[in-house]
Amino acid sequence: MKQTSKRLMWMVVLWSGSVLALAAVSMVFRLLMNAAGLRS
């Protein structure tokens, strides 16, 4: 039982981490697009 809950917790941690990473990447891309748009 303990092992299963620990594994589930790790899956949640990894999932939230990947979601945060994707959000950060999309934010950086949006900033780059805005900078490129302002330059031209």
Q: Give the pLDDT confidence score for residue 34 in this predicted structure.
A: 92
Each residue's pLDDT tens digit, 4-15: 999 999 999 999
DSSP type of residue 38: H
Q: Give the pLDDT confidence score for residue 37 in this predicted structure.
A: 87
How many CA atoms within 13 Å lie on the side-chain side of 14? 6
Q: What is the mean pLDDT of residues 19-32?
A: 97
Q: How far is the first Cα of the chain from the last one, in angstroms, to the nearest whole number?
A: 59
pLDDT band at 1 (very low <50, low <70, confident <90, very high): low
The C-alpha atoms of residue 11 and residue 7 are separated, in whole angstroms, by 6
